Amino acid sequence: MRAARLLALATTMLLTAAFGQVSPARADSGTVRISVLKGGWFIGASGGSGTLIFHGRRYPLSIGGLSAGLVFGASQTYLSGTVSHIRRPSDVAGVYGAAGAGAAVGRGVGGIVLTNEKGAVLRLQGRQTGLMVNADLSGLAISLR
């Protein structure tokens, strides 16, 4: 009886792992370029635009967000990279959250990895210009235009 339960549990775990591997294998990836302007004094806001290239087609993106915490200054950020674990362009749309601290005076270079509620993973790097000091909780919303 106990051996049968263990066998059933092991079989269930094996099937779950096998089918769990199928889903990401069917997922695809694309490239993303975005430009975001951020500014604030304790509460910050950001907005911008970008482009998703997926299966050879271009999809325009809108970017918006809010920050709360220690935020001071303004900056322009240009990011490019990849988005993975998507099946269709609309999978990129969603809310991406990050907590962090940073500073930029003049030009800065950085990278970030973010995930939305649909499982899309953004791996971005780029440069930031302006004067910005922050230690905040930020939310970034990306939508297809």
pLDDT by residue (tens digit) across 17-47?
A: 344 333 455 679 999 999 988 888 877 788 8
Decide if 139 contacts 96 (C-beta within 8 A). Answer: yes
Put simply, whether the predicted model's pTM sits higher than 0.75 gets the answer: no
Residues listed for the chain: 145
Span 110-128, mean pLDDT? 86
Output phi, psi for 21, to 5 deg.
Answer: -80, -25
How does pLDDT run across 45-94, given as a tens digit for each residue?
Answer: 888 999 999 999 999 999 988 777 767 788 888 999 999 999 999 999 99
Take residue 137 and report the two structure tokens written for it. Answer: 């909780």
Domains and CATH numbers, the chain: 27-144 (2.40.128)
Closest listed residue to residue 121, CA positions, set 130, 110, 112, 134 = 112
Q: Which residue has the tokens 């775990």?
A: 13
